[in-house]
Structure 1
Amino acid sequence: MSESVVTADPEVRGKSILWRYVDLPKLLDLLHAKSLYLRRADGFSDRLEGALFPSLRVTIDEEFEKGNLKTRSSDFYRNAREGSYVCCWTIGARDNMALWQLYGGVKSSVAITTTVDRLVSTVSGWDRSVHLYKVKYIDHSKPPNFVIGAYRDVLQYKSDAYKFENELRVVLPKLDDISQNPMGIKLKLNDINELVSSIIVSPEANDSFVSAVVDLCKKYGLKSPVKRSKLAFIPT
């Protein structure tokens, strides 16, 4: 059994609220399988996912030629993308209409909320090496000043076109044989109620959908409250 090692950026605060926007089938999968889904990094639509800056590629290849590194830049890039699994959350106390539209389909989606502390407690039970990154948004045409150590480190940077996501990433390395890595993995939750703070229903969902989500959560023993998004209400 592997040792459970969880690391987090210094900027990550334990009490911070996290959101994960999903459609109904993904909520059902979470409840039924009692597992959290992580996607291989090269499976995301962002073409710059794990991208290496030209200057970084040159440095890696130079150090490889000197014998100071074990991999060339091409292998470094592949290991980062195909040897890492990612689960994405949004940081913030309020929901985001753009994310409702982007990740769920507004009328039939929900958001799972938790906190960093709850998430750390959950991933600590996986007996794996897990890393929490607060994503830094950058202009890939302008190489930033940063230090890259492990392959996974490049996954903490995304194009500033995604800045609205305010993302926290759970990154799990799986480098033993990346040629055998599936596109996604599910890791069991010891207690789903330990992870989930609440279920927030889309602001445009109708009453029938809200009732269906309430019944579904009750069926699978989720004790966390089911609420409508505050965006569904007109302030009075």
Structure 2
Amino acid sequence: MFQQNNKLHIPSDDTLVWKYMDLSKFLDLLLSEKMFMSRSDKFEDQYEGTFSEPTYEEIKKLLKDNPEYLDAYKSKRKNIVISSWHTNYYESYAMWQVFTKNNEGLAIQSTIGKLKQSLIEERIPQNIGEVNYIDYKKEHIPFDDDFFPFLFKRKSFQYENELRILADVTPLDINVNEGVKIQVDVHTMIEKLYIHPKSENWYKKLVIEIVTKLGFEFEIEKSDLESDILI
């Protein structure tokens, strides 16, 4: 269930969003009709969910009156789960390179409005926020909302144009390992499906066959990043 958090910045509902993935993850989404959300402290970026230097200096002052704050925050990180999306009006060559391998993979195209509608999990509320890219040595990260530290990244990741679906699974009282799966309306979420620009024709036919047999009817296209050169 999508929950509007007025502190988090969200682009307009008609903004295009993309999720690049391999075929196995895509099949898991279709078969389970559940979206995987990663535990926030399991991302490769070691700065994920941490504080910038100016923010940490501010927090150190608070520790005098609340010495358990940092330990409580570290525990909280284990219960914040995230699904990452890419905002762009067009396909991204960089995203194909980062998230797919061996000239195979898929990209889901949706909109922020459709993402909101597709979040039907009732156990925990889901929030959506746009990632801010900052200098961690100079700029401040607000911490008056539990999700703010997970919506800031270093400027070197700016090419990701990331939008995040976030949730706090603390109410579920579960041991979160790598992440959790939440119920989604796949028919609503996927507006269009793009197939890797360098994939073979058999791969496209396979994807179409699988999608059809599973009863989904969204539009499928081969990426046009490798279309014929006109000269």
Instruction: Kindly state the Cα deviation for residue 61 of structure 1 after the two structures are TM-superposed.
Output: 4.1
Q: Specify the alignment match of 1:185 in structure 2.
A: 180
Alpha-carbon spacing, 1:125–1:222, altered in 2? closer, same or farther (3 Å): same
Q: Deviations over 1:7-59 (max 9, x none)?
A: 36344110011100000101110111111110001111011101112432343
Q: Deviations over 1:143-195 (max 9, x none)?
A: 23x42213321000011111111010001112348782222111122x32111
Normalising by the residue count of structure 1, what TM-score does the alignment of the two structures yield? 0.88
Matched, 1:165 2:160: yes
Alpha-carbon spacing, 1:137–1:93, altered in 2? closer, same or farther (3 Å): same
Matching residue's letter, 2:180: I
Please give the alpha-carbon distance, in whole angstroms, between the structure 2 residues aligned to 1:201 and 1:98: 15
Q: Specify the alignment match of 1:150 in structure 2.
A: 145
Please give the alpha-carbon distance, in whole angstroms, between the structure 1 residues aligned to 2:2 and 2:93: 36
The root-mean-square deviation of aligned C-alpha atoms, in Å, is 2.2
| Identical counterparts, % of pairs | 20
Alpha-carbon spacing, 1:143–1:78, altered in 2? closer, same or farther (3 Å): farther
Contact 2:10 2:128 in 1 (8 A): no
Which structure has more helix as a fraction of its residues?
Answer: 1
Normalising by the residue count of structure 2, what TM-score does the alignment of the two structures yield? 0.90
Contact 2:22 2:100 in 1 (8 A): yes
Matching residue's letter, 1:97: Y
Contact 2:2 2:127 in 1 (8 A): no
Contact 2:55 2:142 in 1 (8 A): no
Q: Deviations over 1:123-147 (max 9, x none)?
A: 2543522211111111212223x42
Aligned with 1:180: secondary structure?
coil
Contact 2:18 2:107 in 1 (8 A): yes
Q: Specify the alignment match of 1:73 in structure 2.
A: 70
Matching residue's letter, 1:92: N
Of stretches 198-207 and 128-137 in structure 1, the one that deviates more from structure 2 is: 128-137
Q: Specify the alignment match of 2:62 in structure 1.
A: 63
Instruction: Kindly state the Cα deviation for residue 71 of structure 1 after the two structures are TM-superposed.
Output: 4.3
- Aligned length, in residue pairs: 229
Residue correspondence of structure 1 range 191-206 to structure 2 within 5 A? 191-206=185-200
Q: Deviations over 1:75-129 (max 9, x none)?
A: 32442x3120000000012111111111111511000111101100112543522
